[in-house]
Amino acid sequence: MKNNKIGIFDSGLGGLSVLKYLKIDVPGYHYLYLGDNARLPYGEKSSEDIYRYSCQAMDFLFAKGCTLVIVACNTVSAQALRRLQQEYLPLNHPHKKILGVIFPLAEKFAKQNGINRIGVIGTKATIASGTYENEIKKINPNVKIETKSTPLLVPLIENGWLKKPETKMILKKYLKPLKNKQIQALILGCTHYPFLIKDIQRIMGKKISVPDPGKIVAQSLADYLNRHSELNLKTKNKTDISFYTTADINLFKKEGEKFLNSKIENIKKIKID
């Protein structure tokens, strides 16, 4: 029987914003979600540490039988994806695939008609990498891109501070400069940020487009699998999900169920370092 396992890797809970849509748009697979909550936030780590942590995560997910892993973390996609694809895979798993989340978003925004000024928010590592600017300008060199590092958001989200007034105050401080630069669309360059999308949209106003990146990434994966029949390994109608975290199971379950809008049943604590 074909193996229908797809891995999803994030530094914490953020990748659940992608998994939420994968269940709908790409059903019939067994998803293995790995959150390295013990070592987040990745956005403050060095490129070498991010790459090393990512290799450990890939080792775990491929050992579990995944044929494809989605790096549902913008920081890893920005800082380590190219090395994972060009160095790690050929040496360790030459017949398997690793995909990131930045290119689908960059492509979607760059091709939008009438959009010539785009904002991007993300972790320090993601913004410092310049990956979004590079990918967007490859497709549409005329687009003006404004970026803003928003490092406090991931810890606030991971600790369940979504509705705290402090979080809303910090959001306003981060977003006001971008709004003042009259951007037409905002890329949420971190998979954690969709959990604040309603507040972000309210602050930015109705005229600024703030799409949910999780839906864009899920649709992109569906298209990718349709184009690559060797990876389209759907074997059943039922969607299974297994969860793994490197930190506290109860906290992952408590906050994760809010983000996923469903129960988290099959969860284990693991060590990958």
- What pLDDT, on the 0 to 100 scale, is given for residue 4? 86
178-197 pLDDT tens trace: 999 999 999 999 999 999 99
Confidence check: pLDDT of 1 > 60? no
Q: State pTM to two decimals.
A: 0.95
Averaged pLDDT score across all residues of the chain: 95
Catalytic residue among 190, 208, 210, 225: 190
Domain ranges of the chain: 5-100+215-269, 102-213
**5-100+215-269: CATH architecture:** 3-Layer(aba) Sandwich (3.40)
206-265 pLDDT tens trace: 999 999 999 999 999 999 988 887 766 666 678 999 999 999 999 999 999 999 999 999
Q: Are 184 and 209 in contact (CB under 8 A)?
A: yes
- Class in CATH terms, 102-213: alpha beta
Confidence check: pLDDT of 31 > 80? yes
- What pLDDT, on the 0 to 100 scale, is given for residue 149? 98
141-187 pLDDT tens trace: 999 999 999 999 999 999 999 999 999 999 999 999 999 999 999 99
* Dihedral pair phi/psi, residue 166, rounded to 5°: -60, -40
Share above pLDDT 90 across residues of the chain, in percent, rounded to a whole number: 92
**Catalytic residue status for 66:** no
Is the fold of 5-100+215-269 the same as that of 102-213? yes
Confidence check: pLDDT of 129 > 90? yes
Catalytic residue among 6, 16, 19, 73: 73
- What pLDDT, on the 0 to 100 scale, is given for residue 218? 96
